[in-house]
Amino acid sequence: MSHITCIIIEDEPLAVKILSDYIAQVPFLELKHVFKDALLATDYLRDHAIDLIFLDIHLPKLKGMAFLKTLVHPPAVIITTAYHQYAVEGFNLNVTDYLLKPIEFERFLVAVTKVKSHQKEKLPLSEPQEKDYVFLNFQKKKVKILFSEIVYIESQREYIKVVTTKEAYLSKMSTHEIEALLPAHLFKRIHRSFIVSLNKIESYTHEMVEVNGISIPIGRGYRAVVESL
């Protein structure tokens, strides 16, 4: 299994411990170094290739967003912060995900799985562009579902319900597995049980989004994702 090498840039000891413990639990993650400020990390990145940075925003000397703007060819970045108001700026800088403290392991796993998925999708220039569909097991056969037709996905214990513009499909897999297969720029998880198509959102409030006339709740830990729309 190929490893994703990562560093942590964080000045809170408790946050460093939690992130380090989470990283240790994920087989494909390899923690290389921890930095208390971004300037030290800058020196390290000049001589070391890293796949992923866990980056806090409020850092001494050089703030997280300012540091991110200095990187010419940045690796994948997952923002870790207690402040949701920086979500828009973070997504404008193409960060992979934005985790609000206190970070739950389940939410952490979703974020790093995205990085793993994007790593697998990196193909030579001679290959065609990324596919616009996914095959799912449904009633003992593989069914092709176009990303453009998916409205939302709902977790139902060990199954997921994929609601499309044509019909709904029930497939035995987790929301983590389906999220890893979906393009991050087209779909966002807004609740531990719901993933929505950004193109299908008709309206939203602080507590819910409406897709094709259906109201879907926004989880507390996912509000920054919606606010970045």
Domain ranges of the chain: 4-121, 133-227
- Nearest CA to 11 out of 80, 84, 98, 96 is that of 80
Least confident among 67-81, 122-136, 181-195 = 122-136
Query: What pTM was computed for the model?
Result: 0.54
Residue 91: the pLDDT is 57
Residue 88: the pLDDT is 53
Fold (topology level) of 133-227: OB fold (Dihydrolipoamide Acetyltransferase, E2P) (2.40.50)
pLDDT of residue 126 exceeding 50, the answer is no
Least confident among 154-158, 173-177, 223-227 = 223-227
Which residues have CB under 8 Å from 216's CB, separation 6+?
Answer: 152, 190, 191, 194, 196, 208, 209, 210
Q: Average pLDDT of 14-30? A: 95
Q: Residue 205 burial by CB count (10 A; 0-12/13-18/19+): exposed, middle or buried?
A: exposed
Q: Average pLDDT of 46-62? A: 89
Residue 96: the pLDDT is 87
- Note the pLDDT tens digit of each residue in 55-97: 998 888 888 888 888 887 889 999 998 876 655 555 566 788 8
103 confidence band (pLDDT: 50, 70, 90): very high
124 confidence band (pLDDT: 50, 70, 90): very low
pLDDT of residue 2 exceeding 60, the answer is yes
Confirm if 220 and 206 have CB atoms less than 8 A apart: no
Residue 184: the pLDDT is 82
pLDDT of residue 188 exceeding 80, the answer is yes
What is the CATH architecture of 4-121? 3-Layer(aba) Sandwich (3.40)
Answer whether 4-121 and 133-227 agree in fold. Answer: no
* Tokens (6 digits) for 22: 């989470």
pLDDT of residue 1 exceeding 60, the answer is no
Which residues have CB under 8 Å from 37's CB, separation 6+?
Answer: 9, 11, 59, 60, 61, 62
Which of residues 197 and 65 earns the better pLDDT score?
197
